[in-house]
Amino acid sequence: MNLSHTIRRLHIYLALTLLPWVLMYGISAIPITRPDPQDRLYGDDPSLWTTRSEHPYERPVPNGLSRDEMRSLGKLILDDFGIEIQSTYGAYSLRRKRLTVYASDFWNFTRLVYDIDGHKIKIQDKQFRWRHFLTGLHSRGGFAHGTVLNYILGIVVDLVAIGFLLLAATGIYMWWHLKSARRWGLVALATGLLSFTIFLLEL
């Protein structure tokens, strides 16, 4: 088996292996480019949330917390109420004297809304939304989510990214060695580069 045959087989098997990932990123890009303002994860539309319970609660929240400190505080609050972290979690404060802690995975989104001055906390579950599911699939990556499966997912996403680069490289190799396709291949390559460059410079 010569180099050309090896590269062709590598290209074919990469394409088949990466097919689910290509479909996932392609389909999930649609709700990202067409966001629904009424379906935001951090929105307050009451129709999107079901209140599980409300409790009296008091925990000091210092001013000027860093992102990591806010996340650590969120973990403590989740532990206080026995909420298991399946995937990712964090905390944010969009309003003064109100802290929101969240725990989510691809399927579920739970938040704890802490009224600091009122000394009470509300636990709410977000209704399942396909937009949440798809955008979560598209954006999930990295190694900071704190579970073994998420760490493995980060490695797999890295491997998928390398696979995409190899798929492009082997495709270019095969195109260049197929002399009858060079002209139209150059047109396709130039069109892609031109459109990418225009949007890169203008947006």
Q: Mapped to the 3 state alphabet, what secondary structure does 68-106 carry?
A: HHHHHHHHHHHHHCCCCCCCEEEEEEEECCEEEEEEECC
Q: Are residues 111 and 165 in the same domain?
A: no
State the pLDDT at residue 161.
93
**Are residues 71 and 152 located together in one domain of the fold?**
no
User: Alpha-carbon distance 176 to 174, whole Å?
Assistant: 6
Q: Which residues contact 73 (CB under 8 A, 6 or more apart)?
A: 59, 61, 65, 91, 99, 101
Residue 132 is predicted with a pLDDT of 76
Q: What are phi and psi of 112, to 5 degrees?
A: -120, 115
pLDDT at 11: 94
Q: What is the pLDDT, as a whole number, of residue 97? A: 86
Residue 102 inside a domain? The answer is yes
Question: Same domain, yes or no, for 25 and 107?
Answer: no
Point out the domain boundary residue: 136, 167, 194: 136
Q: Which residues of the chain have pLDDT under 50?
A: 41
Whether residue 118 is found in the same domain as residue 170 = no
Amino acid at 98: R
Shared-domain flag, residues 163 and 195: yes
Both structure tokens of 168? 């492009």
Rounded to a whole number of angstroms, the CA Rg of the chain reads 23
CB-based burial, 29-38: b 16+ in 10 Å, e otherwise: eebeeeeeee
The verdict on 13 and 95 lying in the same domain is no
Q: How many domains, the chain?
A: 2
The verdict on 45 and 29 lying in the same domain is no
Determine contact, residues 7/173, Cβ cutoff 8 Å: yes
Q: Which of 134, 13, 17, 121 is nearest to 59 (CA)?
A: 121
Residue 113: beta bridge partners? 100, 122
**Domain stops at, among 136, 171, 189:** 136
Residue that is last in its domain, among 89, 112, 136 = 136
Range of the domain at 173: 3-34+147-202
d(CA 148, CA 123): 26
State whether 96 and 184 are in the same domain. Answer: no
